[in-house]
């Protein structure tokens, strides 16, 4: 997904000299073609996230389309004040491309994890928040963000994501990844889609991707036919998409996510998913327990 997005941004900047990519000393290899062929449209500000964000805002005020690229802790966390004031407060259509969603960078530790970024992003009005599951969703999110008059934040893992969609999709609405006659449904976003097949090995359940996390949508109408509604995310369980959905509907929502605590456990992503019971096998079994407990 990362490479697909980078290639599209390159083609955009090649056609439009007003396009700019700003990196905070990240993305080596990802932007080589753009740097070599369009050197005046690429800026590496180094390890200075505040300057990176302020520069992006200044370019946007000069009618440039600006893409900020960095790993997520340095695209929206360390520079939260600048994103909040320089970009979102002024409603500038800057696109923040954040790499390493959730625990992608395990076992690098808590400094590299992005398990509270949605919570931060949701505090900023006018900010579009995207968490695509595959390259097709990623491209549609990017295209939407480029056309939008609002700032946008696109959070992705890294590269090598499977392509899940073979037809046109509308990322402003929930997208079925697996549809059945079941009255149970689970909504997810981002790289946690890797666990979909393991969930289906445990239980037959509708599985839906929500790439545009905070789009305006009638959730009550969409969820009305389902008896049991679950959310799954590689993010803190409180403050992420599941919490947002709870505020959008009167329906009962069961959330699966990472416990809101500093992650001191050391291991790869699969190990940490298992530890926090957001792996497909654990989620499937816990869904069955919840359904059975209701009688």
**19 strand-pairing partners:** 65
| C-alpha–C-alpha distance, residues 295 and 205, integer Å | 18
7 and 145 assigned to the same domain: yes
Domain stop point among 98, 129, 156: 156
- Report the pLDDT averaged over residues 221-245: 97
**Within a 10 A sphere around the Cβ of 11, how many other Cβ atoms?**
12
CA 19 to chain centre: 23
Assess whether pLDDT exceeds 90 at residue 193.
yes
Assess whether pLDDT exceeds 90 at residue 160.
no
| C-alpha–C-alpha distance, residues 19 and 132, integer Å | 23
58 and 140 assigned to the same domain: yes
Domain of residue 95: give its range: 2-156
Give the pLDDT of residue 219: 97
- Report the pLDDT averaged over residues 129-134: 97
Q: Are 12 and 56 in contact (CB under 8 A)?
A: no
Total number of domains in the chain:
2
Contacts of 216 by beta carbon, 8 Å cutoff, 6+ apart = none
Assess whether pLDDT exceeds 80 at residue 249.
yes
Which CATH number is 116's domain given? 3.40.50.970
Give the pLDDT of residue 86: 98
Assess whether pLDDT exceeds 80 at residue 6.
yes
* Closest C-alpha among 128, 123, 178 to residue 150: 128
Give the pLDDT of residue 159: 72
Percentage above 90 pLDDT, the chain:
95
* 285 in any annotated domain: yes
Buried-exposed string 174-202: b where 16+ CB fall within 10 A, e elsewhere: bbebbeeeeebbbbbbbbbbbbbeebbeb
Give the pLDDT of residue 161: 82
pLDDT bucket at 28, cuts 50 / 70 / 90: confident
pLDDT bucket at 294, cuts 50 / 70 / 90: confident
- Report the pLDDT averaged over residues 55-72: 98
Three state DSSP letters for 53-98: HHHHHHHHHCCCEEEEEEEHHHCCCCCHHHHHHHHHCCCCCCEEEE
Assess whether pLDDT exceeds 90 at residue 168.
no
Percentage above 70 pLDDT, the chain:
100
Q: Please give the mean pLDDT across all residues of the chain.
A: 96
* 193 in any annotated domain: yes
| C-alpha–C-alpha distance, residues 276 and 283, integer Å | 10
15 and 151 assigned to the same domain: yes
What is the per-residue pLDDT across 81-128, written as a single tens digit (0 to 9) for each? 999 999 999 999 999 999 999 999 999 999 999 999 999 999 999 999
Which CATH number is 219's domain given? 3.40.50.920
55 and 148 assigned to the same domain: yes
Compute the Cα dihedral for 235, 237, 240, 245 and give only its sign: positive
pLDDT bucket at 266, cuts 50 / 70 / 90: very high
147 and 234 assigned to the same domain: no
């Amino acid at each position: 997904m990362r490479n697909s997005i980078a290639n599209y941004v390159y083609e955009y900047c090649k056609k439009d000299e007003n396009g700019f990519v700003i990196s905070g000393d990240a993305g080596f290899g990802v932007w080589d073609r753009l740097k070599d062929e369009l050197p005046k449209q690429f800026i590496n500000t180094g390890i200075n996230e505040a300057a990176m964000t302020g520069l992006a805002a200044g370019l946007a005020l000069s009618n440039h389309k600006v893409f900020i690229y960095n790993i997520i802790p340095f695209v929206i966390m360390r520079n939260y004040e600048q994103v909040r004031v320089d970009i979102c407060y002024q409603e500038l259509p800057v696109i923040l491309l954040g790499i390493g969603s959730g625990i992608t960078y395990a076992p690098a530790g808590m400094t590299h994890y992005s398990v509270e970024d949605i919570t931060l992003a949701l505090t900023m009005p006018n900010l579009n928040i995207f968490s695509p599951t595959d390259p097709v969703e990623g491209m549609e999110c990017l295209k939407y963000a480029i056309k939008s008059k609002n700032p946008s934040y696109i959070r992705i893992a890294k590269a090598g994501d499977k392509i899940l969609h073979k037809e046109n999709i509308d990322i402003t609405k929930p997208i079925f990844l697996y549809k059945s006659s079941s009255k149970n449904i689970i909504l997810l976003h981002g790289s946690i889609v890797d666990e979909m097949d393991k969930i289906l090995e445990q239980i037959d359940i509708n599985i839906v991707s929500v790439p545009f996390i905070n789009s305006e949508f009638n959730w009550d109408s969409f969820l009305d036919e389902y008896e049991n509604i679950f959310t799954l995310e590689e993010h803190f369980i409180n403050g992420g998409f599941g919490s947002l959905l709870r505020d959008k509907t009167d329906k009962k929502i069961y959330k699966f996510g990472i416990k809101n605590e500093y992650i001191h456990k050391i291991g790869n992503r699969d190990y940490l998913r298992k530890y926090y019971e957001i792996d497909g096998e654990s989620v499937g079994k816990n869904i069955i327990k919840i359904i059975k407990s209701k009688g």
